[in-house]
Structure formats: structure tokens, C-alpha cells
Amino acid sequence: MQNRRELLLSTVAAGLAAAAAPSLGFAQPASNAGEAAKLNAFFDDAMAKLLRQAPELATGLGLDSGDLAWTKGLLSDRSFEAIAAGSAQTTAQLAQLRSIDRKALSGMDAVNYDTVEFTLAVQDEGNRKFSYAGGGSGAPYILSQLTGSYQSMPDFLDTQHSIETKADADAYLQRMEGFARLMDQETLIAKKDYADGVIPPDFVIDKALVQMKAFADTPTADAPLVKSVARRTKEKKIDGDWAGEASKVYENSVLPALKRQIALLESVRPKATHDAGVWRLKDGGDYYAVSLKNYTTATMSPDEIHQLGLDLVKSISVEADKLFKSIGMSKGTVGERMAELGKDIYENTDAAKEQLIADLNVKAKWIEKQLPAYFGALPKAELEIRRVPKAIEAGAPGGYYNSPSLDGKRPGIYWINLRDTKEQAKYTLTTLTVHEGVPGHHLQLSLSNEAQGLPMIRKVIGFSGYAEGWALYSEQLAVEMGIYKGDPRGHIGMLHDALFRAVRLVVDSGMHYKKWSREQAVKYMSETMGDEESGTITEIERYVVWPGQACSYMLGKITWLRARERAKKELGKKFDIKKFHDAGLLSGMTPLTVLDRVVDDYIAATKAGK
């Protein structure tokens, strides 16, 4: 899972629009120079404005020094005034972009236009139609087990806010104060939402409270926020009582704001229902439709998505049954046999968990050696595999990925959730590493970061359909690369995860469109796949708070596979899988409809011998 759900737009300064199209391995037609110049000027202006609105984006990109050092101590403003101003700005920017003559653009200029136009349009639609969680779509609850700054900010400050100087440490403390302010702004948004009937389901509130209380009950001296600045200033020999200063901010600002959120959730808990889907909210059906568009960037209806999921569950189960029989496992349903394989796990001890991560690092290094046969461009950024922080593991997914910084100083990080090793069966770990690491998220997102010629705005807009689709396509590609050769159990693990994404189509549309209960969704997933119920519950509850996102994986994979088959059919002997991958990856993340046009351009240019 790519841990970049929201639209991220930023820049380091004016003049960062592409001067030349990225090298995709084929020639691209030139746009009208005047309209292309307007487009790139628009990109620069839009990014500069958004950076001022969300200064932490510069830190996330590793660009918060030099001319952008002013961003280092600041965080976003989520006041009602800032939200209204941001919505108005999105509407104005969409109109400004559409004033540029799209017909005069071609090649990557057209791809850039279409990508940003889609992003602004779906955000504008969500802002105009819905006020949940401050507007937009895809996450109706400002506070949940997966949303809210309480859930993300400690990790952000520890892993992304660098500390090299006293000024960096001072900025850290300033951001701790900003973190408290953000929580209070979220509390005000939540109060408004609750008054409007936008209350999370009872089980979502319960899980959020578990995490919040674990955060609040941690002694100040042991708090990750305090320990992080104390440890890193000591390592850099920066004089001062940083633990003491951070403790004051923690106790006087951060904890009181967090406790206000806890009190609010506890006060609204008696009003919460057990219904899982957004259908129960005002305009909930329309909200789900827009959320699907936002995440999948595809055009399928909820009914079509549900039926596709059911069909894929059948076909993948048939394939898995054949592999099971090849290793002598023929009794029981596919889910029951997967449950049997799932009993082979690492011990649930810290020592065994450290060994698990060490083994995954060895596996990732071996996979990296296989990449040159399938990719022309390879990432420069290093990949690290880390354990999900204990403070957020109760509600966090089984695995997710953070992109490397653009300056190359911070590696890509593949996080694995080890709260209970029963949820990470050995036979599934290779596929998880393929998905989160290589050739999945790490390869794709690193290449996007490192691509020459892409406007900065294109490097930091995320599309779940493209990115998660690529990572799931990578799981299929791993079979072709021989990664499971001699490892039928690992191959079954790949089919387990493909089945997992097919099931997601069924349960996501089931809960949000067909009014399935949480328990009905858990039962269907658990019986179909044979997974531990605790992990299944975490997954289902994730889909409840991110409606539509779970559908992006399989719809994206299908788009990548169909595009490849189309290229093979059209090009015949001219088809080169390295060039196909380069064309799709070096163009940067796009909506799936735009990805199809990128592949069509590659096919046309290859046919013409360009």
C-alpha cells in the first residue's frame, strides 16, 4: 500500500516545470510553444501556492533547506477559513487550467495537462458536493484509526523531519506546537461533522480510542515525540536540554489537545451506529461514487465492480486449487487450505520479528538482481524494510511504503506490521515484499521521483489506481520473472494476495453500496481466504474509513495487464518489455485513462520506428 492517499502538490520555487519531455525511449510530438509555456507557468504558480498551504510537503520531499528553510517549522492550517480558501483556490485553478487550449498540446504536455486536470476536477467535485472531514472525497471521517494527525504526525516528525542543526531542532519543537494546533482544528471539524450526522461507526471510534489512549498513556519520557528529538540532538552533539524542552511542549500542548479529541470521541460514541457503509450518510451514495472515481480513476459502477470481484474470486480460486493439488493439498476449500499454510509463521517474539525483517531484506536484495532483464530504468534510491511503530500498529495496514526524498538523502521505506506474526504467514511474505518493495512501490515511486523532465507537480500527485495497480501487476510479473520458481507455496502466496484484491472489490462495494454489515464483510473475506480474523478485521475496518480505495488495486492491475497485452498484439516482434515498462513508469503517475493514452503513444511511436 502506498502511504500517500491525499493529493500532494508542492514545489521548491518557480521555474520547476519541465524544460524538456522525459526520455521515454520514443519520440514525442511537439506542442504549440505558447500553450505549453502557459501550462508550465500554471504548474509553477499552483505548486508555489500549495506549498505555502502545506509547508510539511517540502519536508516530505526532502526540500526544506536553502530557499525553503522557512517551511521547516510549519505545518498545514486546517481551520475552517483555510479549508474554504483552499476549496475556492481549487475551483479557480481548474478554470485557469481549462482556459489553456488542450488541443494545442501533445506528447507529455498533453499527459501532464490531463493528469492535473483530472486531479483538480475530482477534488473540486468533492469540495462542492461534500463537507465531510473538511471536503473532498475518499475519507469521510476526520478522526479514525487511520485518519487524523495523531495517527501520522509522530512518525512524520521522527522519520521525515531531519535534525542536523540547532535550527532544525527548534523547528521540531515549533512543529510539536503546530501538531497540537492541528489536533484542535481537527476537533472542531469533527464537532461540525458530528452535528451534521457524519459520525464514524462505533467500531471505528473504538479502534481510534485504543490508539489515542495508548498514545496519551505513554509516560512523557518514553513518548516517541520526546525521545526522537532527544536522541537525534545527542547524536549530532547539539547542546541544550532538548528532552526537557520537548517534554514541556508535550505536556502543555500536545497531550491536552489529544485528550480533547479523546473526550470528543467518547462523548459521541453513544450516538454511533454499527452500520459500516457510507450509504447511511447524507448523499452517501454519491459520496461513494466520487470516492471510487478519486481512488480508481476508472469509470466502473459499484454493481460492475461487485460482479467483477465475484468473477475473479472464482477464477483465482480455480488457479490456486491446481497449485495446491500439485503440492499434495487437495482437501477442503481454497480458503481452508490457505489457512493451513498460514500456520507456518515466525514466533511472536521480538527476536523472531527482527529475524523476519532480516530475511525480507535478503529476499529484496535477491529480487533486485533480477530486475535488469525486465526494466531499462532502475531506481537509485535505497530500500529499507522497517517495523510499523508500535504506537500505531493496532490500526495500521499489514504493509505500506513511504517514498524516498527527492534529494536522495532519505531512502524508500517499506513498513511491515508485526503486531502479531499470525497475520504475516511465511508463504505470503515474498509477495508482500514484491508489492511494497521491488518491483512494486519502491521501483515505481523511486523512478517517478528520479525521472528527468517531469514537472514537479507530476512527481507528487498520487493516484491509487496507477500505483496500487502497478504494485499488484508486479506480483503477477514476479511469476514471469521466476521469483517463485521452485517455491510453489510462495506462488500460492501470490495467488492469495490476488484473491485478496478480488475480495476487496466484493466487500468494499458490498459495505458502501449494497449495505453489507462489517460482520458480513469479515465473514466473506475470512472464509474465502482463510486469513487470521484479527488481520481480516483490520482490513475491513480500513475499507470502512477509506471508501473506494480498496478497489483501486485490482482495477489498476487489470488496466496495466490489458495495456501490455494491447502493446504485444499491436507490436508483435517489436514489443520489448523493458521499453513498455519504461514508457509507463517514466511518464509518472497518471489516472488509468491517461495511462492508456501513454501506452497508445508508445505503440504508435514504436510502429513508426521512432
| pLDDT single digits (tens) 321-380 | 999 999 999 999 999 999 999 999 999 999 999 999 999 999 999 999 999 999 999 999
In the chain, where the domains are located: 558-607
Contact status, residue 462 vs residue 5, Cβ threshold 8 Å: yes
Contacts of 91 (CB under 8 A, 6+ apart): 124, 127, 128
pLDDT tens-digit series, residues 190-232? 999 999 999 999 999 999 999 999 999 999 999 999 999 999 9
Share of the chain above pLDDT 70, in %: 95
CA 4 to chain centre: 4
Instruction: Indicate if the pLDDT at residue 21 is higher than 60.
Output: no
In this prediction, residue 24 carries a pLDDT of 63
pLDDT at 399 over 70: yes
pLDDT digits (tens, 9 = 90+) for 138-154: 999 999 999 999 999 99
Residue with cell 530475511: 359
Give CA torsion, residues 108, 110, 114, 120, to 10 deg: 90
CA distance 187 to 94: 30
Pairing mode of beta strands 412-416, 383-387: parallel
**Model pLDDT, residue 223:** 96
- Confidence check: pLDDT of 392 > 90: no
Beta-carbon count within 10 A of 201 CB? 22
Measured CA to CA in angstroms, residue 85 lies from 80, 128, 398, 451, 590 at distances of 9, 13, 36, 32, 26
CA angle (480, 481, 482) in 5-degree steps: 90
Closest CA to 539 of 498, 512, 495, 501: 501
Burial 543-568 (b: 16+ CB within 10 A, else e): bbbbbbbbbbbbbbbbbbeebbeebe
- Mean pLDDT, to the nearest integer, of 162-179? 97
Compute the average pLDDT of residues 393-397: 78
Asked whether 418 and 458 are in contact (CB, 8 A), the reply is: no
Answer whether residue 406 shows pLDDT above 90: no
| pLDDT tens for each residue of 424-458 | 999 999 999 999 999 999 999 999 988 888 888 88
Q: What is the pLDDT of residue 26?
A: 63
Indicate the pLDDT class of residue 547, thresholds 50, 70 and 90. very high
Q: Residue 602, Cα to own-chain centre: how many angstroms?
A: 27
pLDDT digits (tens, 9 = 90+) for 261-285: 999 999 999 999 999 999 999 999 9
597 vs 111: CA distance, rounded Å: 8
* Residue 195, number of CB atoms within 10 A of its CB: 10
pLDDT band at 16 (very low <50, low <70, confident <90, very high): very low
Is residue 175 within 8 A of residue 161, CB to CB? The reply is: yes
Q: Express each pLDDT in 69-96 by its tens digit.
A: 999 999 999 999 999 999 999 999 999 9
Segment 247-269 shows an average pLDDT of 98
- pLDDT tens column, 526-546: 999 988 888 899 999 999 999
Q: What is the pLDDT of residue 285?
A: 96
The whole-number pLDDT of residue 4 equals: 36
Query: Which tens digit of pLDDT belongs to each residue from 463-516?
Result: 999 999 999 999 999 999 999 999 999 999 999 999 999 999 999 999 999 999
How much is the average pLDDT of 236-257? 98
Mean pLDDT across the chain, nearest whole number?
93
Backbone angles phi, psi at 263, to 5 degrees: -65, -40
- Report CA-CA distances (Å) from 462 to 7, 9, 54, 458: 6, 9, 16, 9
Q: What is the pLDDT of residue 3?
A: 46
Question: How large a percentage of the chain has pLDDT more than 90?
Answer: 84
Residue 599 pLDDT greater than 60, yes or no = yes
